[in-house]
């Protein structure tokens, strides 16, 4: 038998203080409300993002009756577009409407982070403080805040991943199997939204294999652990297989498997580049977060070792994925934010427990033996001091973090409009609109301009990324075939996308297209004669 997370609670259970629960609920709702308010502010801001253009065009095609994988090329996960589509319809079929689904997922992720730390620390004052700290830290995180306002796949897949972790922690605490099943379902949903989130399997594996029996007992039972693993795998694997079967295994492989296999690279091939990108993005989180996370590791290994190891395994799995990923981009780095934020929140919660214990030490020691009192009192004081250092370090950087969030809201759209050519996008959109009938087709390396013109891009060529070209998923012969089939009125190329297919570009005059206009940023517009 192995003892797990055996450290006793150092502050009184919250259940004996129901007013504190009311205060906690109010503070959580206020946190989520403020987070929502800032996420929807200026939600239609210009970014010039190619990936957002793809997403908006995919949703436009769905509104016209086309389906992902069957008709529309979709290189993310099988369920991403179906998740965002109701929000897109409900809020007006605009770019902001597409982003609103991501905003909703972001709020779910904040609530899930509160639940995860609350379950990890337990029903103590530290549990309340840690849970609220998790929601606040993730709410104002610059990388998470920026990702929460873009129609990309990362935040929608983080939300169920965090819920999967929280539900599994709840299962460890209470032993009720419905939490295990919920965790497995959320894990499957996360992977089906974007398979890149497979790294969440690391903390889940730790909690399943190390935690063993998830009851009030603190001992490990290998039979129960094995049964939990089998049940978890059956639920998660069964749901994933069902969705793939409904969409069509061949179509899913064509959109995801073959494309991603071709886009990959050997282990270590991009290590230095990806590491520099990771450091660059995470630097914006400010040093205080990492100091508090280090405190969380120190206190967590002492008080909550299994949870701490699980979160460290999550962060390690993310970094390991970054080391070998062949197409790492700025948007992917947000995957590292949740485990770091949860470690920091764990530190905040355990620090509050330690401070409370240190303050109440003499009174709490009256019921204990004289031999235990000095050791516990000293440990509580050391933990309290360490926790206060972490909390002060993080608090000192909060103003800088909030300024970064304000930059995302107010200044970043202006910079993007200048650097990425918003005026050029508007001009290309007007050319598309004027040369393409409402029911006509477009082939565009600038899907945002086509979306602004409210014209449909050829479904299977909605994603013309350079990665897809390099992977061999998009070839000159394939592009020519679809141009001949759909007869698009306008074709827009860019040097690092369709422009890489030299044979296709050279053939455009033979296909009946004349060069209409070129732009300094590399766009070339061809119209059908």
Residue 11, helix vs strand vs coil: coil
Average of per-residue pLDDT across 118-146: 93
Among 236-245, 357-366, 420-429, 491-500, name the one with the lowest average pLDDT: 357-366
Beta bridge partners of 388: none
What is the per-residue burial (b if ≥16 Cβ within 10 Å, else e) of 26-52? Answer: ebbeebbeebbebbeeebebbbbbbbb
pLDDT at 372: 46
Residue 368: count of CB within 10 angstroms of its CB: 11
Confidence of residue 225 (pLDDT cuts 50, 70, 90): confident
Gap between the Cα atoms of 517 and 311, Å rounded = 53
Nearby residues of 488 by Cβ (< 8 Å), 6 or more positions away: 436, 440, 441, 442, 443, 458, 528
Is there a contact between 394 and 292 (Cβ–Cβ < 8 Å)? yes
Among 109-118, 177-186, 462-471, 507-516, name the one with the lowest average pLDDT: 462-471
**pLDDT of 64 strictly over 50:** yes
Sign of CA dihedral 9, 211, 135, 164: negative
Q: What one-character-per-residue DSSP string does 465-500 give?
A: -HHHHHHTSS-HHHHHHHHHHH--SEEEE-TTTGGG
Quick one: tokens of 229?
């693993």
Confidence of residue 220 (pLDDT cuts 50, 70, 90): low
pLDDT at 445: 95
Quick one: tokens of 356?
């409370």
Average of per-residue pLDDT across 53-71: 94
Q: Which tops the pLDDT comparison, 203 or 372?
A: 203
Residue 216: count of CB within 10 angstroms of its CB: 8
Residue 208's closest CA among 190, 222, 192, 191? 222
- pLDDT, tens digit, 9 for 90 and up, residues 506-527: 999 999 999 999 998 899 999 9
Gap between the Cα atoms of 265 and 107, Å rounded = 34
Confidence of residue 418 (pLDDT cuts 50, 70, 90): confident
Residue recorded with tokens 């959580």: 28
pLDDT at 130: 94
Confidence of residue 314 (pLDDT cuts 50, 70, 90): very high
**pLDDT of 411 strictly over 50:** yes
Residue 332: count of CB within 10 angstroms of its CB: 23
- pLDDT, tens digit, 9 for 90 and up, residues 476-494: 999 999 999 999 999 999 9
**pLDDT of 138 strictly over 50:** yes
In the chain, what are the domain boundaries? 15-44+75-414, 422-528
Please report, for residues 135, 217, 221, the alpha-carbon distance to residue 199 in angstroms, rounded to integers and kept in the order given: 21, 29, 26
Beta bridge partners of 527: 490, 514
In total, the chain counts a number of residues equal to 529
- Please tell me the number of Cα atoms within 13 Å of 39 on its side-chain side: 33
Is there a contact between 493 and 499 (Cβ–Cβ < 8 Å)? yes
- pLDDT, tens digit, 9 for 90 and up, residues 425-437: 999 999 999 999 9
Average of per-residue pLDDT across 73-97: 94
pLDDT at 373: 59
Residue 528's closest CA among 477, 476, 490? 490
Confidence of residue 371 (pLDDT cuts 50, 70, 90): very low
pLDDT at 205: 94
Is there a contact between 354 and 383 (Cβ–Cβ < 8 Å)? yes
Residue 102's closest CA among 147, 41, 161? 147
- pLDDT, tens digit, 9 for 90 and up, residues 228-283: 899 999 999 999 999 999 888 888 887 776 666 666 554 455 788 899 999 999 99
Among 15-19, 45-49, 107-111, 162-166, name the one with the lowest average pLDDT: 15-19
* Percent of the chain whose predicted confidence (pLDDT) is above 90: 70
pLDDT at 164: 97
Confidence of residue 382 (pLDDT cuts 50, 70, 90): confident
Distance of alpha carbon 384 from its chain centroid, rounded? 32
pLDDT at 375: 62
Q: What is the mean pLDDT of the chain?
A: 88
Gap between the Cα atoms of 229 and 209, Å rounded = 7
Distance of alpha carbon 182 from its chain centroid, rounded? 19
Q: Which tops the pLDDT comparison, 15 or 421?
A: 421
């Amino acid at each position: 038998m192995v003892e797990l997370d055996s450290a006793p609670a150092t502050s009184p259970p919250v259940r004996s203080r129901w007013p504190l629960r009311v205060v906690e609920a109010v503070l959580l709702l206020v946190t989520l409300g403020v987070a929502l308010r800032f996420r929807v502010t200026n939600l239609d801001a210009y970014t010039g993002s190619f990936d957002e253009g793809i997403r908006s065009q995919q949703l436009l095609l769905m509104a016209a009756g086309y389906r992902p994988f069957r008709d529309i090329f979709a290189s993310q996960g099988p369920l991403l577009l179906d998740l965002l589509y109701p929000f897109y319809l409900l809020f007006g079929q605009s770019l902001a409407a597409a982003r609103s689904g991501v905003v909703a997922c972001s709020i779910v992720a904040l609530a899930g982070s509160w639940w995860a730390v609350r379950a990890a620390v337990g029903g103590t004052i530290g549990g309340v403080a840690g849970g609220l700290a998790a929601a606040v830290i993730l709410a104002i995180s610059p990388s998470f805040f920026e990702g929460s306002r873009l129609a990309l796949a990362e935040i929608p897949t983080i939300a169920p991943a965090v819920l999967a972790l929280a539900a599994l922690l709840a299962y460890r605490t209470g032993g009720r199997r419905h939490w295990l099943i919920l965790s497995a379902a959320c894990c499957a949903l996360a992977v089906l939204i974007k398979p890149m989130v497979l790294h969440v399997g690391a903390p889940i594996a730790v909690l399943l294999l190390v935690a063993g029996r998830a009851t009030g007992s603190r001992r490990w039972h290998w039979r129960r652990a094995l049964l939990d693993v089998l049940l978890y795998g059956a639920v998660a694997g069964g749901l994933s297989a069902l969705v793939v079967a409904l969409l069509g295994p061949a179509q899913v492989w064509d959109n995801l498997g073959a494309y991603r296999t071709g886009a990959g690279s050997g282990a270590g091939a991009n290590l230095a580049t990806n590491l520099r990108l990771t450091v660059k993005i995470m630097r914006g989180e400010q040093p205080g977060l990492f100091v508090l996370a280090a405190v969380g590791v120190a206190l967590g290994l002492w008080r909550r070792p299994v949870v701490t190891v699980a979160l460290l395994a999550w962060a390690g799995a993310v970094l390991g994925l970054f080391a070998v990923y062949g197409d790492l981009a700025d948007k992917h780095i947000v995957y590292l934010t949740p485990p770091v934020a949860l470690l920091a929140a764990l530190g905040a919660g355990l620090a509050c427990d330690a401070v409370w214990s240190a303050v109440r030490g003499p009174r709490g020691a009256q019921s204990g033996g004289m031999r235990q009192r000095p050791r516990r009192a000293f440990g509580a004081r050391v933990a309290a001091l360490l926790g206060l250092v972490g909390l002060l370090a993080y608090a000192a950087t909060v103003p800088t973090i909030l300024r970064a969030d304000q930059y995302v809201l107010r200044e970043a759209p202006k910079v993007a409009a200048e650097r990425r050519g918003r005026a050029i996008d508007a001009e290309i959109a007007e050319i598309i609109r004027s040369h393409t009938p409402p029911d006509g087709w477009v082939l565009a390396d600038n899907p945002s301009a086509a979306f602004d013109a409210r014209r449909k891009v050829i479904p299977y060529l909605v994603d013309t990324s350079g990665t897809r070209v390099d992977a061999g998923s998009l070839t000159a012969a394939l592009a020519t075939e679809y141009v001949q089939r759909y007869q698009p009125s306008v074709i827009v190329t860019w040097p690092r996308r369709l422009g890489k297919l030299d044979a296709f570009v050279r053939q455009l005059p033979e296909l009946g297209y004349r060069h209409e206009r070129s732009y300094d940023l590399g766009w070339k517009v061809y119209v059908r004669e």
